[in-house]
A = this chain, B = another copy of it.
Amino acid sequence: MPAASRTIRLVDIAREMGVSRPVVAAALFDSGGNTRVSPALAARIRATAARLGYRPNAVARQLKTGRSRLIGVVIGADNPQVNQTRLLQLEAEAFRRGYRLLIAYLHDMRESTALMADFVARGVEGVFWLHLPFCLEQPPKAAIFKQLPRVIFNEERWCPHGGVIRIDYAGGIHQAVHHLAARGHRRIGMMLAGRGGWPGDPILARLRGYQTALRELGLPGGRSHVWFGDSPDPAASAIDAALAELLDRRRVTAVIASNDQWAAETIKALRRRGLRIPEDVALVGFDNDDLARRLDPELTTVDHNHDLFVQRALELFERLAVTPAAAADEILIPARLVVRQST
C-alpha cells in the first residue's frame, strides 16, 4: 500500500511555502475567496503541490460548498441493451462537463426509497431516472424525489418538479411504416410486447405512430393488424402466436416487431416457416441494439439517438440549476429509422 505515508493537505503546502491556505487555494484552483496571487508565486506553489503529490479533497470541498459534481443515475432491468448503451454515453457526456456518475441499478421498485435517500445523503446534484416501469410494476412514488432538487426522467414525469426527455417512439414507427409503404407493402402488421401500462408508455406511442401513418397512407389495418403480447419476453410460442395472427389471418407482408429482441426471434420463426426476409416478409425492429447489425439478415430498425438524448439530458440538467421552471419544457428526441437488409 504505497503513499499511504501522509495525505498532503492545502495547509501543508502553505506551511512549506510560508503563505496562507487561501493563497495556495487561489494558486491551485479558482477558489480562495477574494484572494489573488501573483503569477510567479502561483507557479511556485503549483510546483510545490506537484512535488508533494497534493490531491485536493473533493469531499471536504463538497461539505463546504455543497457542490458534488455528482449525478445519480437509476437504470433498470427493463431494457438492458438500451439502458446500458445510454448509460455509457451519458457517462461520457457527463464527464466532458465535469460530472461523475453514481449508478444505481433498480432491481425492485421497493428499493427506490432507499436508493434516493442514499443519493440525497451523498449530495448528488441531481438524478437521471432512466428506468421505465413495466405495466406489472408500481411506478415510483413522487415523494421519494422530494429532497432531490433536479430530477430528469425518461418518458414520464414521475414527480411534479422533474423534467422529462422523451424518445419519439411514435415518429420512429411512423417512419418505419412509410418506409415499408414505399417498398410496396400495403398490409403491415405490428407485434407489441404488452398493452401499455401508463400514459407515456412507449408501447402506446408505437401504436399511435403506426395508426397515424396507416391513416395518412390510406392503408388497411390499424388495431386489427396489431398483435398484443402479455410478456416482455419474446418466447417462441408468443412469436408463433403473433405470426399466426398477422401472417395467416391478416396476410400481412411486413411486420414491425416490438423491439430488436422480438425481431431476432421473429427471424428464427420466419425461417422455420420457410419464409425469406425481406422477399416474403419484411421485418423492422426497434432500439438498434448492438445485435441488429449482427443478425442475418441485418435488421432494419429504429435508433434511439442516444447521442442527442444524453446531450439534451445534460443541457436540461444544467439549465435546471438556474431555471427550475425549465423542467416543464417538452423535450422530444427524434428517433431514426436505420435501413438494413430486412426490408
Q: Which residues of A contact B (CB under 8 A)?
A: 1-4, 53, 55-60, 62-63, 68, 70, 75, 80-81, 84-85, 87-88, 91-92, 95, 100-105, 107, 117-118, 120-123, 146-147, 149, 161, 261, 264-265, 267-268, 271, 289-291, 294-296, 324
Q: Which B residues are CB-close (under 8 A) to A63?
A: 57, 59-60, 63
Q: Which B residues are CB-close (under 8 A) to A60?
A: 63
A107 to B91, CA, bound (A): 11
Is A55 a contact partner of B121 (Cβ separation < 8 A)?
yes
Residue in B2, B4, B62, B296 whose CB lies within 8 Å of A268: B296
A161 and B2 contact, Cβ closer than 8 Å, known pairs A101-B103, A147-B55, A267-B296: yes
Residue in B100, B295, B324 whose CB lies within 8 Å of A295: B295
How many copies of this chain does one complex carry? 2
A59 and B117 contact, Cβ closer than 8 Å, known pairs A1-B149, A81-B290: no
A87 to B103, CA, bound (A): 10
CB nearest neighbor in B for A62: B59
Q: Which B residues are CB-close (under 8 A) to A324?
A: 1
Is B95 a contact partner of A105 (Cβ separation < 8 A)?
yes
CB nearest neighbor in B for A89: B105
Q: Which B residues are CB-close (under 8 A) to A4?
A: 149
